[in-house]
Amino acid sequence: MELLDPKEFIITRKRKKYKFALFHNSPLCFEFAEWKKASDVDVVEVGAGNAHFLVELAARHPGQQFVAVDVKADRLQSGARQAAERHLKNIRFVRARADQIGELFSAHSLSALWLTFSDPFPRTRSAGRRMTHPTFLTLYAEVLKSDGSLLIKHDNPRFFAWSLEQLVAEHWRIMELTFDLHESTLSEEYKILTAYEQRWLSEGLTTQFVRAMR
Ligand SMILES: C[S@@+](CC[C@H](N)C(=O)[O-])C[C@H]1O[C@@H](n2cnc3c(N)ncnc32)[C@H](O)[C@@H]1O
């Protein structure tokens, strides 16, 4: 049996605390309780991780306001650091849960809501936690404008097929769809890589993509 070095865990824990402190200190980062419900936000990514995808989108659209939402402060902090290095003034990072989205943004105020490589929760009994579950779809419909879009990128065919079924059952209209985004002729912006995508694309990951409107 391979022996573990306990010091590694102490270092890991400290690194997380260090990143937490950076999150706390960053003017771009907000805890849920600090955030004031906003009506000036255009584009949101939920479960954004380190949000490098959204940072790149924000850099390309300085006239729009972006918000990355995730439960993990250390990941969001990585995006906030990148945004600060790039002197971006149009992106913020909020530590909150997907189910709190209605408390973060005014009703019918968002143009776009992204879900990229959400945790698939493959067990049937965990279906309620999937970010494309009807409970979440209802919340997204409440914050999206009437002409706003929900955009989903995913590598897991079962999760993606299940999500499409939920969208159709909940009366969303499918506006764009591909089972291989990077081989498609769809917008180059959709093809900006997320951290997860960047890591697994070389291992044969295929990105499926859908844009839907309610
Ligand atoms: C597989 S990662 C993908 C991260 C990023 N979108 C990417 O493509 O690199 C899923 C992310 O969703 C976040 N997450 C999971 N459940 C969540 C929830 N209920 N609310 C907000 N974020 C959540 C996790 O913390 C994690 O950062």
Tell me the C-alpha distance between 127 and 188, whole Å.
31
* Contact by Cβ (8 Å): 159, 149: no
- Give tens-digit pLDDT for 80-109: 999 999 999 999 999 999 999 999 999 999
Q: Is the CB of 126 under 6 A from ligand 1?
A: no
In 10 A of CB 19, how many CB atoms? 18
Residue type, 135: T
Q: Which domains, from first to last, does the chain contain?
A: 28-213 (3.40.50.150)
Residue-wise DSSP of 85-142: HTT-SSEEEEE--GGGHHHHB-TT-EEEEEEES-----SGGGGGGSTTSHHHHHHHHH
CA distance 91 to 51: 10
Output the CA 18–ligand 1 centroid distance in Å: 21
Task: Return per-residue pLDDT of the chain as tens, 214 residues.
Answer: 566 665 666 656 666 667 777 888 889 999 999 999 999 999 999 999 999 999 999 999 999 999 999 999 999 999 999 999 999 999 999 999 999 999 999 999 999 999 999 999 999 999 999 999 999 999 999 999 999 999 999 999 999 999 999 999 999 999 999 999 999 999 999 999 999 999 888 888 899 999 999 9
- Contact of 65 with 41, CB cutoff 8 Å: yes
**CA 3 to centroid of ligand 1, rounded, Å:** 31
User: Full-prediction pTM beyond 0.85?
Assistant: yes
- The arrangement of strands across the sheet holding 110-116 comes to 29-31, 91-95, 66-70, 43-46, 110-116, 144-154, 208-213, 173-178
3-class DSSP state for residue 166?
A: helix
Does any ligand 1 atom lie closer than 6 A to the CB of residue 75?
A: yes
Known catalytic residues? 119
